[in-house]
Amino acid sequence: MHPRTNELLTYLESQRAALRDAFERVPPDQRDRKPAPDRWSASNVIEHLAIVEGRIAARFAGLIADARAKGHAAEWSTDPILPAIDLSRVLDRSGRIKAPDPIQPTGLASEAAWTALERSRTALRTTIDAGDGLALGTIMSPHPLYGPLSLYHWYAFLGAHEARHAAQIIADCGLRIAD
C-alpha cells in the first residue's frame, strides 16, 4: 500500500473511532431525538454522513476506473499528504451549513443509520484501494462549498467532516469532550 493511501486510511479510521465514541456516549433512547426542532438527532447525523460518504465513494469509483483505463500516472511522492491540506474550514463549527436536499437524512433509526455508515465505509474503502498508487493529487472533483478538490483532499475532507459532526453530536447532546 502506498504511504499516502495508508496515511489517509489511518486518518479516516481515527475520525471514525472518535465519531463512534461520540455516538455511543449518547444514551440509546436519545439517539433518535432531535435536540431542537431545527437540529439533527445523533441518528440523523450518522445517516447524513452515510449518504455523503456513499455518494462520494460512487463518484470516485468512476473517476478512478477512468483514470486507470487512461493510464493515469503513478504517485511518485511519499511525503505526508495531511500536513499539506487545510481542513480548518471543514472543522470550523462557528457557522452552520445547510446540507442540500440530496444529503439530508430521511429519518433512519440509530442502528439502521450506523449500518448504513458501515456500508458506505466499505464502499469508500473499495474506492481507496482501487486508487492506491495513483497520483490522486491530480484527479480533481468539485465540492459545492470548497471548490475543486483533489481526491486526496476529498478523502481528508471525509475524515474532517466526521470530526465536525462528532463535535456536533457532543455539543447537541450536552456531552463534554472529556466525559
**pLDDT tens by residue, 113-149:** 999 999 999 999 999 999 999 999 999 999 998 999 9
Q: Strand, helix or coil at 73? A: coil
Q: Number of folded domains in the chain?
A: 1
pLDDT band at 175 (very low <50, low <70, confident <90, very high): low
**Residue 113: all three cell numbers together:** 443509520
Q: Cα angle at 22 between 7 and 16, to 5 degrees? A: 20
115 within a domain of the structure (yes/no) = yes
Q: What is the pLDDT of residue 179?
A: 44
Q: How far is CA 114 from CA 80, 103, 128, 155, in A?
A: 30, 16, 21, 20
Q: What is the pLDDT of residue 177?
A: 53
Q: What is the pLDDT of residue 88?
A: 92
Is the model's pTM score more than 0.75?
A: yes
Average pLDDT value for the chain: 94
pLDDT band at 176 (very low <50, low <70, confident <90, very high): low
Q: How far is CA 88 from CA 15, 16, 48, 137, 148, in A?
A: 15, 18, 20, 19, 16
More confident residue, 67 or 179: 67
Query: Which residues neighbour 111 within 8 Å (Cβ) at sequence distance 6 or greater?
Result: none
138 within a domain of the structure (yes/no) = yes
Indicate which CATH number applies to the domain containing 125: 1.20.120.450
Burial of 61 (0-12, 13-18, 19+ CB in 10 A): middle
Q: What is the pLDDT of residue 58?
A: 97
179 within a domain of the structure (yes/no) = no
pLDDT tens-digit profile of 32-66?
A: 999 888 899 999 999 999 999 999 999 999 999 99
CA separation for the pair 6, 75 (Å, rounded) = 13
127 within a domain of the structure (yes/no) = yes
178 within a domain of the structure (yes/no) = no
**Residue 153: all three cell numbers together:** 483532499
Q: Where are the alpha helices (DSSP H) in 26-150?
A: 42-69, 88-91, 110-131
Q: Work out the average pLDDT over 143-171.
A: 95
Identify the domain containing residue 147 by its residue range: 3-172
Portion of the chain with pLDDT greater than 70, in percent:
97
Q: What is the pLDDT of residue 97?
A: 87
